[in-house]
């Protein structure tokens, strides 16, 4: 796949960026991880530059994902400053392909993070923006439920987040229902294992 790095095909380029991103996430060396993330971001930027007129769903989705990773590497200020752009590209991806459950899930995380923003982060956001990013638990829930509607039980983390948002909204019964459902889902990945442990802790399963 890496020989396609000189390609002008958006579909190939965003897939290469995804591979580099996954390789970065697996790296145990901080410098290698950061280098690979920046390489992936450069590739996905090219994918957007070469985007066809009818749009490229994967290029926008992975641009948003990688932009957030770059913000994470660069620190809170950078991540906040990039947050609006992350949201814009996730929404553009869904305009092109509205049936991708993972993109709805990621956008749900965006809404949850700003609905649940701590005091220090909110203070920083107020310093960076005339109108800082904000959201509500209702908006986050809407996105997580949409992901679940498109692809039921596709990702234990999404199921768990539905429970978490219900709990934050004061609906304990629905929260427990989704926590238990998340607990019962197969444990395949590290994310699944983490969700399994958290769900067990809150439901005492």
How much is the pLDDT for 3? 58
Same domain, residue pair 88 and 153:
no
> Is the domain of 90 the same as that of 136?
no
User: Could you tell me if residue 192 is inside a domain?
Assistant: yes
| Cα angle 110, 113, 119; round to 5 | 145
Q: From 50, 49, 39, select the one nearest 16 (Cα to Cα).
A: 39
For residues 25 and 82, membership in a common domain is answered with yes
Asked if residue 68 and residue 29 are part of one domain, the reply reads: yes
Residue 111 in domain: no
Q: How confident is the model at residue 48 (pLDDT cuts 50, 70, 90)?
A: very high
Q: Are residues 53 and 138 in the same domain?
A: no
Q: What is the pLDDT of residues 74-115, one digit of tens each?
A: 998 899 999 999 999 999 999 999 999 999 999 999 999 999
Instruction: Kindly report which listed range (72-86, 112-126, 169-183) carries the lowest average pLDDT score.
Output: 112-126
**Of 12-16, 90-94, 190-194, which range is least confident?**
190-194
Q: Are residues 130 and 75 in the same domain?
A: no
How many domains does the chain divide into?
Answer: 2
Copy the structure tokens of residue 100.
């991708």
130 secondary structure, DSSP code: S
Please tell me whether residues 92 and 126 are part of one structural domain: no
Q: What is the CATH number of the domain that holds 167?
A: 1.25.40.10
The domain of 81 spans: 1-98
Q: Are 92 and 133 within one domain?
A: no
Per-residue pLDDT at 85: 97
In a domain, 38, yes or no: yes
Question: What confidence score (pLDDT) does residue 144 get?
Answer: 99
Residue 114 located in a structural domain: no
Domain assignment present for 117: no
d(C-alpha 81, C-alpha 66), whole Å: 14
Residue 41: per-residue pLDDT: 98
pLDDT in tens, 127-159: 777 777 889 999 999 999 999 999 999 999 999
């Amino acid at each position: 796949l890496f020989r396609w790095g000189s390609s002008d095909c958006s579909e190939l380029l965003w897939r290469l960026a995804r591979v580099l991103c996954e390789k970065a996430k697996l790296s145990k060396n901080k410098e290698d991880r950061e280098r690979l993330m920046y390489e992936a971001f450069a590739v996905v930027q090219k994918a957007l530059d070469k985007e066809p007129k009818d749009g490229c769903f994967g290029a926008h989705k992975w641009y948003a994902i990688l932009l957030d990773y770059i913000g994470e590497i660069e620190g809170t200020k950078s991540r906040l400053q990039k947050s609006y752009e992350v949201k814009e590209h996730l929404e553009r991806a869904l305009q092109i392909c509205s049936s991708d459950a993972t993109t709805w899930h990621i956008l749900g995380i965006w809404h949850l993070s700003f609905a649940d923003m701590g005091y220090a982060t909110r203070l920083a956001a107020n310093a960076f923006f005339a109108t800082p990013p904000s959201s509500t638990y209702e908006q986050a829930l809407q996105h997580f439920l949409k992901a679940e509607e498109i692809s039921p039980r596709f990702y234990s983390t999404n199921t768990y987040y539905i429970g978490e948002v219900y709990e934050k909204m004061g609906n304990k019964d629905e929260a427990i229902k989704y926590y238990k459902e998340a607990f019962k889902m197969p444990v395949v990945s590290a994310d699944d294992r983490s969700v399994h442990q958290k769900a067990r802790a809150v439901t005492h399963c």
